[in-house]
Structure 1
């Protein structure tokens, strides 16, 4: 049940077409549904948070994920699963031919019956190196699933800082940035000092021994001196994309409701990047 369906039900009660007791029963049983004996699918996530439940695929079988997706689709919601391997992806592609499999990001997405909504908000995802792309792709797919306009700037880490400086106009035009980096995790601090928008830092488990599987990057990002940088967990591309999507959508909706203010904000953002 999404906000539109909820409004329709309340209007039906007000018009006398639906008894209050029947509406209460529908509402009480709608919050979640069982997908077999292994999962309870949260259908109210979309009402509470604006986005449907996302499936963490690691540790789940292909059949379990398919069953969860079918429950979501039955109730008018799309599905997104993260952290899946090739065999699970092949199963889901056969079950949902219209679905989109992102090989690098290890995600699979099925759009709901209502189709893709208009794009709202601008997210730019930046990676320090090519090795960070799998985490960045997970973030990109997530932000796109939340109907944001998303672009990716890859391989602009601090070892060759001139590569980043050439991208400043694109960075300045974003509502939110996701910066993905491994090794010492320095890139988010550098980017944070160049832009006037939130920066979601995502540490990755890329690096040599003293990197400690991403712990060095995580601690470096947490100690950033750039005050607009916040940090999510190691390799948590989904979390970075989700938070960026929330921020960007609010900014985009504010722009739509106030075109004059949006124009000024966009101009200021481009000026920041020039």
Structure 2
């Protein structure tokens, strides 16, 4: 959308179209009411990225319709989060350009652009069990044009696994630190990096982890400066925020 607006303004400046014609184009409805959803076509202009489809709770038929409406307005790529394999198969029958990442429960319709961010986004996890959330974050960042480096299973239970990657951590533009249990990884990484660290607590852990609440509170109480926290298991939110930071000029 940003590119389209810029091209439109260039045409006005070059007198290829009139001011009135440009005004008419901009007055087009900013959303389409499908009955079950109001698809927001101006979100890219306001926030920098198009609307994302949250798959949980939606039927495959509803998502097929939303994708079709977005395609008609030349939105690409289209991101679908929390997408089940069963619904992904049905959507793929209508939209063959869907790529489904089962581990992350993410669907991407259209081609992923080449990275154009300022630097790299590093996604690290405390353990292997955190990888599904990490992949949601990593793929989200990649879909929006970021180069992503993955450091998985580098938690504090074996700190020596993280130390060989100090150069990668120190050169990152943004770091996403994902951990369950007590969530200590975010503080450790935050104490090593000079860039923003986005902490993601996961619902991994035994009883007193309270489905990620312990990690959430631990990360919110981090003594490392520059650490912010998103909600439990919210890999998408972390990937989106990392993208915004990595594209700030």
Q: Shorter-normalised TM-score: what interval?
A: over 0.9
Aligned to 1:174: 172
TM-score (norm 1): 0.85
The 8 Å contact of residues 116 and 145 in structure 2, kept in 1 or not, is answered as: yes
2: distance between equivalents of 1:171 and 1:50? 26
TM-superposed deviation, 1:132: 0.5
2: distance between equivalents of 1:189 and 1:196? 13
2: distance between equivalents of 1:217 and 1:154? 18
Q: What value does the CA root-mean-square deviation take over the aligned residues? A: 1.7
TM-superposed deviation, 1:143: 0.3
Aligned to 1:143: 141
Aligned to 1:77: 75
Find 2:236's aligned residue among 220, 235, 238.
238
TM-superposed deviation, 1:119: 3.2
SS at match of 1:166: helix
Name whichever structure is richer in helix by fraction: 1
Deviations 1:180-203 (A, max 9, x none): 000111110011111111100000
Aligned to 1:105: 104
TM-superposed deviation, 1:24: 3.0
Find 1:152's aligned residue among 150, 153, 159.
150
Aligned to 1:33: 32
Aligned length in residues: 247
Q: Which runs of 5 or more structure 1 residues have no equivalent in the other structure?
A: 255-274
2: distance between equivalents of 1:98 and 1:58? 21
2: distance between equivalents of 1:217 and 1:173? 26
Deviations 1:84-114 (A, max 9, x none): 11111111222222222111100000126xx
SS at match of 2:145: coil
Find 1:206's aligned residue among 201, 204, 209.
204
Structure 1, 162-171 or 212-221: larger mean CA deviation: 162-171
